[in-house]
Every structure is written in structure tokens, then in C-alpha cells.
A and B are shown apart, each in its own frame.
Chain A
Amino acid sequence: MDFSNTEEQQMLQESVQKFVYKSYDFDTRKQIIASEKGFSQENWDLFAELGWLTVPFKEDDGGFGGSAVDLAVMMEEFGKAMLVEPFIATAVLAGGVISEQGSAEQKAELLPKIMEGSLQLACAYAEQGSRFNLANIKTSAVVEGDTVILNGSKTAVLNGSNAEILLVAARESGAATDSEGISVFMVDASSAGVSIQSFANVDGKKSAEINLKDVSVPVAQRLGASGSALQALQDGVDRATLAVSAEAVGAMESLLHKTVEYSKTRKQFGTAIGTFQALQHRMADMFIECQLARSIVIMAAMKLDGGESALEKTKSVSAAKSRIGRAIQKVGQEAIQIHGGIGMTEELDVGHLFKSVTAAEIMFGNTDYHTQRFASL
């Protein structure tokens, strides 16, 4: 048994650390969020150059190998510095769905562009009312000859405003929550009938609400066979769930570290507040939460990479998301509390870490959802 990083993983980790140290301090991040796109194209180009955009992809797809453990190692570093670049949206989620569901030609057309950094994507699946159930899709896809007409609304579309192509999950047949009948279409974001409301989420990442009104798309833009996309969607979202969990582990690590350091320097009643046992125990608990969160994310990543059944893999992702959700609440809230008033301010990074992990708790299904999914599988 060996839980240490491989040499390659270590290099990946160090390369992200070096980038963050040089180019991603808190003020730079603020400027990036305030910019028009809400992420830095320059950084994105660099990610491509450093090969990071290949990490989520299998060797067959021309990628680095598609190991979930590699991905987790990287995401943890991303999380520590709260990177807002749409890595999960484009490379992990959309890239994952294309890799699973696309035809050979579709993959050959799109995946290289993702990996070389020249294509932004977004996966539009969630809807008002669907909550976290991926099968709950009301957006309709009606085939008329060799075109498809899409109608419906999508919510919480990560990177929706920057994507050139939207992967729209729509229903060709069946009732609202049937697992059969769902297809994914590649929709040019500038198509007539697509309206996009863009905003930043509480974690600074760009997201969008998207409305589709009589959007017409060539049938050839369907990924794979008709009505068969749920499994691929599911797998893509599972991987994205693992990625966001690993990111949260990194962010929690930062929260813990910053809180402990602050408690050593902040003096009240003539002494550092870190000398109060009431606070020491709470920081010890934060440390425990961080460790358990990391353990379960590693477990899920290993299972995704291993020979487990599809069911086991999915179950381990839900286990991870459920457990880190509990850690997030505790570590995030305690970090603010122990900082006192200063932790409540927009000016300090701690509050932003808290907001980032809060978003992570909700993203791809919150704690209750994944706990119940775990129980039902």
C-alpha cells in the first residue's frame, strides 16, 4: 500500500504551486473576477502549454491518462488559491461527456481543441425543478428532418457565458424523469433563440442561466445515439463532483492554515487568541475534518481509477461529496468565527475561501442529496 504521490503527480502538483505563487495572488484573482470574461485567457493558454488541460483525458483521447488521482492532486492545488478559470466546466465536465458519448469524429474534432486551449465549453443540464436529479430533464428536442428544435431553460450553467459550444441535455422521448430519452446536443452559443444571462457565482466563477427558444440544430450535432446520453452525463458529473470535492479539500486546507496562523498573531486580553483552549479544540476539530475530507476524496479517486464496478464508483463519489459537505460547513464556519469581525470582510481572503467551499457544497448535488443517493444505491 502506498499513498504517496507518484513522481508525475508530484511534478504536476509543483507545477501548479509554482504557477499560483507567481501568478495567482489574491489581488490578481480579484482583478480576474472583475474582468469582462471573469477568467484569464492568458492563464488558460498557459494551462494548455503546461499540459494541464490534458490531465482529465484518457491516453486514447490524446490525453495525459485521465487518472482521477492525478486530477484530484491538481484540483486540490487549484482550490487552495481559488482558481476561477473554467477548468472543471470545460475540461472535466464537458470534455468528460464528449469523451464518453461522442462519436470518433466528434471526439477527434473537439477534444484536441479543448486540450490545446482553443475551445471553451459548458454543459447545460440542470433546470429549475430538476434540483440535482440528472434524469429530470424537461427541455425538449424535436427532430424535424435533419434538424432538431430545442426548447427549454437551463440553470446554473458553469462557464455558460464564455462557452462557444453549449452541450445541451434535452429530452427526445419519455416522461420528465425517465432515464431513457435524453440526448446531448452541441449547440453553437451564438445560435438564434439562445439567450444567456451571465453572472459570477459566490465563488467568483462565471455561470449563466440559459433560455432556448426554438433553437434549431443539425441532427449531426447530437453526441452519440439518440436518447442514450444519461450515463455519459452521469459519469461526467461524477468526475466533476470528484474534482470539486478535491478543490474543496485544498480550500479547506487554506482555511485551516490561515486560521491557525491568525490565532497565533491576533492578541486579545494580552495574549494570542490561539492560547485559548476553547479555540484550540475547535482548530483541532478543523484539522480532523480536513484529514477525513482528504481521505475520502483519495478513496473516491482511487476507486474511480480502479477495477470497481460502475455502481461502486458512483457510490464512492457520493460518499466523498457527502462527507466533504459536512467538513465544509464545519471548517468554513469555524474559520470565520475564529477570525472574528475581520473574517466577515470582503477584503480578506478567508471569507472568499468560505464562500468558495460553500459553493462547492452545493455544486453537483449538496450533502443531503449525496447522502441519500449513497443510501439508495
Chain B
Amino acid sequence: MNADFTAEELQFEIEVREFLQNDFPAEYREKVDAGIRLSKDELVHWQKILYKKGWAASNWPVEHGGTGWSATQKHIFATEMGLIGAPEPVPFGMKMVAPVLMAYGSDEQKQRFLPDILESNVWWCQGYSEPNSGSDLASLKTSAVRDGDEYVVNGSKTWNTYGQYADWIFCLVRTDTSVKKQEGISFMLIDMKTPGITLKPIVLLDGHAEVNEVFFDEVRVPANNLIGEENKGWTYAKVLLTHERTNISGVPRGKRRLAALKRLAGNTDDGFGGTMLENSAFKTKLAQVDIELQALEYSELRTLAALSVGKAPGPESSILKIVGTELAQEMDELFVDLAGYNCLPFVPEQFEDGFQGEAVGPGSSAAAALSYFNNRKLSIFGGSNEIQRNIISKAVLGL
């Protein structure tokens, strides 16, 4: 047993690190550190820098312009990105719809959509959830009825992350109501500019409209926007989901945040002449998070080792989702602890790009509560942590 990288892998690690040091724009790094959201343009710009380097699509095969990296290389890349705070590619195009296109799309569809995803010319969003279909996704009702060369789509989707930026949406829609619910679902690509689509922003607890409701009223979608076969959408979506759960533990980002916590604690007065880094209760909590992060990292490496000898990602990846998200939430609690009164002001505008007013509170401390509120989403989306525990109970423990 060993967890060492090979000489080539170590060389690769240095290459990635140097590239990120030089090419991840310093101003973005400052914003990320201060808890300020990067704008759409900035995210796209960063994505295009990666594209020029040939590293835009770490999870794609070479034939489509991807890196063709091994599982370990992908891990190294994700780690270095997380450590420096560089945003991951927006996942909806690159990690969600692209693998489905590659596996089940027609050649025409691949040529039409993949290059623009690779170059970040087109922004995608995910249209799965509906108001009455969350955890029970297969109960979704948005309907698509065939009419000549088109489908007519009616219904509504919700919680669409960054739908306001999106050019295209990939949807699960109901094409057959007469069969078992999983068997009447199709996978469809829809241009957001199509008449009949309206968007309603949903403001979350941190004051930011990160998600949207999307309404479809007699929306006509060309039949050749259907992926694969009609009524096979659920199968396609599920294949995607198991692949999506690798690299979800957030260990690199966690390490970066832990380092930030330690730095911040060392700069935060305890009120009695010392710093919070000397406060026994806080120190203990920091240590616990640190230890958990290490246990999580080695769990991820074990999963990775299995992947690199060709095993498919199994339900064990649910562990990474549960622990990774709950640990991230715990770190938010520590940031709130440290910030004390400084995170009470609710001035969300000051973390939006281009804010011109007078900021309240010292720097990133002021963002701690907003992040704490917002990151409650981590245990809700991507298959809630209850659903993940159900998966472990059933698929791993055989209950």
C-alpha cells in the first residue's frame, strides 16, 4: 500500500501549481479571498484562460478536446485549483451535459454543442428539479408532447442555479404518462431564448438570487434536440449522477479554508489580550476539523485508487458527499464563531461585483454569516444527505 505519486505525477503537480500561480488572475484571487462573487464575465474569462492552456475540460477524453488525464492527474489538478481558490469550471456544461452528449448524443449534436462548451461560449443550466419533484425527481411533470418535427413543452422547473446567465438548459421532461414514472422521462436540450420561457429569480437567505424558477408555456423545441431515445432520459441522467460524485468531497477547498481559519484566528483578538488561536475551545474545534479533513482526504484517495484500476464509482461516493458537505458547513460555523459581531450586518450588496457603497465590517469576516446561510444548501442539493444515507443503507448495507 502506498499513497505516493509517481515521478511524472509529481512533475505534473509542479506544472499545474506554476501555471495557476502565474495565470490565475491576482484580482480574482483577491476577490475570492474577500468572499466577493466573481461575475459571469470573470468566470468565463478564467475558463477561457484554461481553454488556451488546453486544460478546460479535465474530465473529457482527448478526442473531444479534453485533457485525457488519469484519475490521479485530475485529482492533482482539482487539488491545486482548490488550494489557490481558482473556481472550478461551471459544472453544468462541462461536467453534466457534456458527458451525456458524449455517451448518448448523435454525432450532429456532439459537433453542435461540445466545442462551445469547451471554449465556454455557451452557458448551460440544469433543469431537473420541479416544485413538487425534489428528492423524488422521477415524479417530475413538465411535459413534452411530440407535434410533427417539434416537441411542445409545458410546466415549470425550479432551483436552476445561474439560470439567469444561461443560454441553454438541459431538462428532464415527461414524454409518457402511461408507464412507470422512471420509464416516461426524456432528456432534452432547450435554447433559453425560445418563446414561452420565462425566468423568475429566487432570492436565497444570503440575499443573492443564485437560483431561478423557469416556466415553460407552449415552448416549441425541435425534435432533434432530444438526446438519444425518447423515454430513456432517466437512465442517461442516472449514469451521469454516479460520475458526477467524484471530486465532490471538496478536500482542497477545505484545506484552503482551514488555513484561512487559522490565519484569521491568529489575527482575531479574544478580548482578553490574546488571540482566538490561543482560545482552548476554538483550538479544539479547529483540530477536530483538521482531523476530519484528513480522514476525508484518505477516503477520497481510496476511492480514487479504486477508480484508477478501472472500477466504476460506487455508492461509497455518497460518503464523500455527506462528509464533504457537512465538514464545509462546520467550517462555516467556525468562521461565524470567529467573526462574532462582525458577521451580523446584513449588507449582501457589498459582496456583489462592482459594489460602490461604503462597506460594513472588516473584510471577509462580514461574509461569514452569509456563507453559513448559503452553504446550508450543500446538504440539500445534489441528492440530499438523507437521500445519500438512504443509498448507503440500501446499496451498501443491504437494508
Contact = CB atoms under 8 A, between A and B. Distances in A.
Interface residues of B, number: 54
A130 B344 contact: no
B202 A347 contact: yes
Chain B interface, DSSP helix/strand/loop, else mixed: mixed
A212 B159 CA distance: 46
Contact of A341 (B270, B333, B380): B380
B197 interface: no
A376 B362 CA distance: 30
B372 A136 contact: no
A203 B273 CA distance: 30
Interface in A180-225: 197, 199-204, 207, 209
A366 B281 CA distance: 12
B281 A341 contact: no
A199 B347 CA distance: 7
B271 A337 contact: no
A10 interface: no
Contact of B360 (A199, A347, A362): A199
B269 interface: yes
Interface stretch (A85-93, A102-110, A302-310, A353-361): A353-361
Contact of B134 (A126, A333, A341): A341
Interface in B107-156: 129, 132-136, 139
Interface in B202-255: 202-205, 207, 211
B345 A201 contact: yes
Interface string B158-170: 1100000000000
Given A132-B340, A337-B376, A278 B272 contact: no
A191 B290 CA distance: 49
A270 B219 CA distance: 29
Nearest to B159: A341
B341 to A, nearest CB: 4
Contact of B346 (A126, A197, A202): A202
Contacts of B340: 131-132, 362, 366
Contacts of A270: 136
B134 A131 contact: no
B69 interface: no
B203 A132 contact: no
Contacts of A345: 202-205
Interface of A: 126, 128-133, 136, 155-156, 176-177, 197, 199-204, 207, 209, 267-270, 276, 278-279, 329, 333, 336-337, 340-341, 343-347, 351, 354-355, 358-359, 362-363, 366, 368, 371-372
12 contacts: A128-B342, A132-B271, A201-B344, A202-B345, A204-B346, A267-B132, A268-B136, A337-B385, A355-B346, A358-B373, A363-B344, A366-B337
Given A131-B271, A199-B347, 11 more contacts: A129-B269, A132-B340, A155-B342, A199-B346, A209-B360, A278-B386, A340-B134, A341-B211, A344-B205, A344-B380, A347-B203
Interface of B: 129, 132-136, 139, 158-159, 202-205, 207, 211, 268-273, 279-282, 329, 333, 336-337, 340-347, 358, 360-362, 369, 372-373, 376-377, 379-381, 384-386, 389-390
